[in-house]
Amino acid sequence: MNGQPLIPQEFGEVLDLIKHYENLILALFTVFAGINGGIIVILFSSTIMTDPYSFLRVILTISGFIFATIFLFFALKVVKIRRDLWARGVELEKQHGLEILRKVRPSHIPIKMRFAVLAVYVVAAFLWILLFVRELGQA
């Protein structure tokens, strides 16, 4: 050996799971952006916009809100799981005399990426509610 302590198997698995859930937050965001973009393109297409009151426009605004809410809850769950895994990793570090997670320096950016993604879901849900109210006002 070269003097470095061996990393326990459970700790390695925790590190892999932390990476997995950090990537999952961005993967969920990518899928959400695609679905949301598709709904927006359909909603603001010329054939739907020329109809003074379209039931489809109301359905699209409701579905946009539902998707934003679902993805918000998915992301909240992923953030919670990642936070729990981080705590378990720190606990394992202390047990085995390691300092990998505890050496990670916080980012210089004041808002963490995962919370910025959560904010996008909240803002999107709010905007879909506003569009829905607008659609009902035009009825």
Q: pLDDT tens digits, residue range 77-122?
A: 998 998 899 899 989 988 888 887 777 765 555 567 778 889 999 9
Residues whose CB is less than 8 angstroms from the CB of residue 64 and which lie 6 or more positions away in sequence, other chains included: 36, 39, 40, 43, 124, 128, 131
- In the chain, what are the domain boundaries? 9-137
Q: pTM of the prediction?
A: 0.81
